[in-house]
A = this chain, B = another copy of it.
Amino acid sequence: MRRCRSSPTAGFKNRLAERAGDRFFSGSGSVPLPFFFQGVPILPPFQFQVEGVDRSTLARVGRLETPHGVVETPAFMPVGTLATVKGLTVEQLRQAQVQMVLSNTYHLALRPGSEVVAELGGLHRFMGWDGPILTDSGGFQVFSLARLTKLNDDRVVFRSHLDGSPLELSPERAVEIQEQLGADFIMCLDECPPHDVARDKVLIAVDRTTRWAERCRKSQRRVDQALLGIVQGGTHLDLRTRSAEALVALDFPGYAVGGLSVGESPAEMYTTLDGTVPLLPADKPRYLMGVGRPIDLVEAATRGIDLFDCVMPTRNGRNAMAFTSLGPIRIKNLKYQKDTRPLDERCPCPVCAHHTRAYIRHLFLVNEMLGPILVSWHNVAYYQQLLRELREAVRAGEGAEFRRLQLARWGENP
């Protein structure tokens, strides 16, 4: 392994100090500073350290410090849309060795409302998860789930997917909601156009995303949250470059790659990552939003991505698909009727320690909710296990070998 200990993100710390100082001495800002010692604000422990880079791929292992604990990267965040990773208790998340969860601003803003969450002590207390949390900006859902009625540089106006009620989101409001929720990482509002849109629309989205990112940064009041920029640009490498350069100039403490996994092929996604990741600062965390299948995690991590999120382990788990080290299996299949093996014979998770394929198949066939629970739990644990093994491989300088082995194991059915 090439040793590549980068220094802490000094720029980020300095910027925080500056902003915290501003507000401390001016007395402005409605959100209290999180840590005081004898009247002096103490900086929250955001820090990212690349502990090592792989010998033959761009993969790296890192240590991401947050106010709610450390995340070893590359890391996968299961999705807790409505302040719950569907079907799993926080204890089960911990047993699956989950380090950080994602929650959805759009959904929480509608129900129960970000003000309610704030009043109840913030998202960590609300959902009983004391580890790190990341919230998205709500933008993705506004563009994909809600019915858009107006979009201009100022803001986006849309109708709720629940009852059609009119709502709007601006960069400032996206930050405000996320400050009420209180996650450790929050995201800039971005415009995420569909995959099949014309290039000029993507260009407009890129530039709007940059302007919105600047406004998000300016509107940030809390100093105990790290705000990440989101690179857009579809599969157009020149637009990705344009987006990345503009955002890097704004000096965010971390960068997400958005607008992927929205309908393009895996090959297009990987090519886009090949062109985009090297544009991002090496000493800051890189987050690939909404990705993906186990193979996508391996392909993207070996291209230098540090963070992932996806509904796949839980959504597919509810639909009786279990991820295993030999590829996914459909547990309802008749061939598992008397199969006394665990879902994955290589898996150390509590589900695989205690339950057989035959039992879990039975649960699904009789519509018992324990079926979706157990397969979701295993899948989340499997994703954690996969990245744990990947981190070990990268530490040993064997990322390429790890990828080769995994791809061979998964075969035609990744």
CA–CA, A97 and B401, complex, Å: 47
Shortest Cβ distance from residue A188 to the other chain B in the assembled complex, whole angstroms: 26
Question: Which of B89, B90, B111, B126 makes the CB contact (< 8 A) with A366?
Answer: B111
Which A99-119 residues sit within 8 Å CB-CB of chain B? Answer: 107, 111-112, 116, 119
Number of interface residues of A (CB under 8 A): 39
Contact B120 A338 (CB under 8 A): yes
For residue A90, which residues in chain B have a CB less than 8 angstroms away from its CB? 354
Copies in the complex: 2
Structural contact, B359 and A127, CB atoms closer than 8 A: yes
A365 / chain B contacts, CB cutoff of 8 Å: 111-112
Question: Cβ of A359 and Cβ of B128 under 8 Å apart?
Answer: yes
Tell me which of B128, B340, B358, B369 contacts A87 (CB under 8 A).
B369
Contact A368 B89 (CB under 8 A): no
Q: Which residues of B contact A373 (CB under 8 A)?
A: 87, 89, 369, 373
- Determine whether the beta carbon of B338 is less than 8 Å from that of A116: yes
A147 proximal to B (CB < 8 A)? no
A356 at the interface (CB under 8 A from B): yes
Q: Are A340 and B374 in contact (CB under 8 A)?
A: no
Q: Is A370 in the interface zone, CB < 8 Å from B?
A: yes
Q: How far is the CA of A368 from the CA of B362 in the complex (A)?
A: 23
Of A78-86, A164-172, A189-197, A301-309, the segment with at least 4 beta carbons within 8 Å of chain B is A78-86
A363 within 8 A of B: yes
Is A372 among interface residues, defined by CB-CB distance under 8 A?
yes
A120-172 contacts to B (CB < 8 Å): 120-121, 126-128
User: How does the 8 Å CB contact mask read for A346-366 relative to B, with 1 for contact and 0 for none?
Assistant: 000010001110110011011
Residues of B near A121 (CB, < 8 A) are 340
Q: Is A17 an interface residue (CB 8 A)?
A: no
Q: Which residue of B lies closest to A110 (CB)?
A: B366
CA distance A127 to B358 in the complex (A): 10
List A315-374 residues whose CB lies under 8 Å from chain B.
337-338, 340, 350, 354-356, 358-359, 362-363, 365-366, 368-370, 372-374
User: Known: A83-B362, A366-B111. Contact between A337 and B116, CB under 8 A?
Assistant: yes
Cα distance, A99 to B301, chains bound together (Å): 46
Q: Which residue of the partner chain, among B83, B128, B359, contacts A126 with CB atoms under 8 Å?
A: B359
| A389 proximity list for chain B (CB < 8 A) | none
Tell me if A82 and B368 are in contact (CB < 8 A): yes
A204 at the interface (CB under 8 A from B): no
In the bound complex, CA of A372 to CA of B370 (Å): 12
- B89, B120, B362, B374: the one contacting A370 at CB < 8 Å is B89
A1 within 8 A of B: no
